[in-house]
Amino acid sequence: MGNKETISLWQLFILMLIFEMGSATVIGIGGEAKQNVWIAISLAGLIGVGYIYLFITLHAWKKKRL
């Protein structure tokens, strides 16, 4: 009952990256942007990478505290 499973930062990064890419495929990013779709996809990708960095930082901070 006391076993705690943890994942590495690399595993967390890959898990979140695959989730982001998969959800972008299902939802379809930038459909209304027409010719500027590359800007919409780039912006969404940067925001997604920012979220991944935030969660990895929080995960590392929590791991240090335990």
Alpha-carbon distance of 12 to 55, in angstroms, equals 9
Cα-flanking dihedrals φ and ψ of residue 11, to 5°? -65, -40
Alpha-carbon distance of 14 to 1, in angstroms, equals 28
What residue spans define the domains of the chain? Answer: 9-65
Q: What is the pLDDT of residues 17-65, one digit of tens each?
A: 788 777 766 666 566 767 877 777 788 788 888 888 888 888 888 877 7
pTM for the model = 0.54
Label residue 10 by pLDDT band (50, 70, 90): confident
